[in-house]
Amino acid sequence: MERAVALPTAVDNDANAGLLAEQLFGAAAGETDVIYLNGSTSGIGGAVGVGGMVLRGADGFAAELGHTLADRDGPPCHCGRRGCLETEVNLQRLEAAAGGPLEHADLAGSLRSLASPALEAEIDRQADVLARGIANLVSAFNPRAVILGGFLSALLSLREGAIRERVAAHTFAPLADALRIESAALVDDQVLVGAAELAFAGLLADPLGV
């Protein structure tokens, strides 16, 4: 790409870009240790910020948080394993329980308007699995904030009290004592904002080009 356009080029995935945007301008502004989880139609993307740096791993593929194990006897995941977090906490399963497509622009409102015993039970189940998944991640990474985007934000809106209580109950004490669990603030703009920050990173690090 650099050769084709003769301009500096930066590449990253959407979850890392979302994390960067939320840390700089969104719900995690000012925090250096953050877990970001985004739920979309394709699954759950994740990113982890440690000490102000994005955790990348030995091969650059760290923080595949949607593929942490939630239920070893759960349904097959497209990754080839069973019971991944993103197969258990899943937008398609919410839509199946609702009896049809949901309005993604106002997912929490759409879920409220279609309330039924089956849908309420599925929301409860997914909120519980999500809370236990977050607790595991908090025990591993000790973040100051967990930011939820996409349909995970709707789950937090609908079951905020239950999610917070279960995260606290299942997290290695006392790591949840000062933990914030928030919905993403930048919503649809976060990936573009994060990508812009990647482009500006070199200039901000060395504005005089020395």
Q: Find the CATH number of the domain harbouring 6.
A: 3.30.420.40
Alpha helices in the chain (DSSP H): 2-5, 14-25, 85-88, 91-98, 107-113, 117-141, 151-158, 160-170, 190-205
Residue 209 domain flag: no
What's the distance, CA 41 to chain centroid?
13
Return the pLDDT at 51.
94
Q: Are 31 and 48 in contact (CB under 8 A)?
A: no
Return the pLDDT at 48.
97
- Domain span at residue 122? 2-201
Query: Which residues of the chain register pLDDT less than 70?
Result: none
Return the pLDDT at 180.
96
Residue 21 domain flag: yes
Burial group, residue 82, by CB count within 10 angstroms (0-12, 13-18, 19+): middle
Residue 206 domain flag: no
Summarize pLDDT for 109-133 with one digit per residue, the tens: 999 999 899 999 999 999 999 999 9
Q: Tokens standing for 33? A: 């240790």
Task: Count how many domains the chain has.
Answer: 1
Residue 158 domain flag: yes
Return the pLDDT at 37.
97
Return the pLDDT at 10.
87
Residue 17 domain flag: yes
